[in-house]
Structures are given as structure tokens and as C-alpha cells.
């Protein structure tokens, strides 16, 4: 009985922990922007590594152009999801695992506002 109590308590406690941490993670991704250093690293990645397919000036290559005019009618969630989960059936890979939701959100914002053009 004691044993059962303790295991269900552990389960309950860990569930609370999980909810808490995911809430915390959500709050962090939606409200905080990456540090300046991280922003620089992300812009470098965008220009140099995303640039392998989309062009260093984002005018397109094997992947489509990512200029502001190409993305203005696309919802930001679509861009974030494309970065994180890729586009199956195309050469666009999922960057989830290498980039956080926060990173992808910030990058999508930069692309939407044409900051790097």
C-alpha cells in the first residue's frame, strides 16, 4: 500500500514537474528573444548555411527565395513550422534539434520583416 502510494505520488509529482517545465519553456519561447550573441550566430547560419540552398542573399537556389516579398502573404507559424519540421518530399530538412522554437521564431520574424536584406 505504501509502495503504491509512493509510486502514484512520484507519478503525480513528475507530471506536475513536466507541466511546469513545459509551461516555463513555452513562456520562454514566446516572450524572450535570443541573446545578441545568439542572434548573430543565427544570422550567420541563415546567410551561410541556409544560403547553401536559398542563396546567400536569400534570392533562391535549390530552395525557394526567402525575401520579404516572397513571404509577406505566408503566416509566421508556417515559416516557423517549415524551419522546425522541414518540408517532406523536398530538400528542406527539419532544423528541430539544432534550433529551438525560440530560434526559429526569431529567424521567421527576421525573414518576414526583411531585416537581413
Report how far residue 114's alpha carbon sits from residue 111's, in angstroms, rounded to the nearest whole number. Answer: 5
Cβ proximity to another protein: between 10 and 90 the closer is 90
For residue 86 the three cell numbers come to 522541414
- The residues of the shown chain that bind another protein, judged by CB under 8 A, are 44-45, 47-49, 51-53, 55-57, 59-62, 86, 89, 91, 93-95, 98
- In the complex, least distance from residue 53 CB atom to another protein, rounded to whole angstroms: 8
Task: State the residue for C-alpha cell 516555463.
Answer: 24
Those residues whose C-beta lies under 8 Å from the C-beta of residue 66, and which sit 6 or more positions away, are 50, 54, 58, 60, 111
- In the complex, least distance from residue 111 CB atom to another protein, rounded to whole angstroms: 17
Cβ proximity to another protein: between 37 and 89 the closer is 89
- In the complex, least distance from residue 108 CB atom to another protein, rounded to whole angstroms: 18
What count of other Cβ atoms lies within 10 Å of the Cβ of residue 84? 19
Cβ proximity to another protein: between 45 and 68 the closer is 45
Amino acid at each position: 500500500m505504501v509502495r503504491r502510494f509512493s509510486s502514484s505520488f512520484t507519478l503525480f509529482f513528475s507530471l506536475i514537474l513536466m507541466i511546469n517545465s513545459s509551461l516555463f519553456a513555452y513562456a520562454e519561447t514566446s516572450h524572450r528573444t535570443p541573446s545578441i550573441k545568439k542572434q548573430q550566430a543565427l544570422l550567420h547560419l541563415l546567410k551561410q548555411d541556409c544560403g547553401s540552398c536559398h542563396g546567400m542573399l536569400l534570392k533562391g537556389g535549390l530552395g525557394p527565395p526567402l525575401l520579404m516579398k516572397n513571404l509577406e502573404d505566408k503566416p509566421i507559424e508556417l515559416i516557423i513550422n517549415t524551419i522546425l519540421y522541414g518540408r517532406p518530399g523536398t530538400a528542406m530538412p527539419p532544423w528541430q534539434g539544432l534550433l529551438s522554437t525560440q530560434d526559429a521564431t526569431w529567424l521567421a520574424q527576421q525573414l518576414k520583416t526583411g531585416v537581413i536584406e
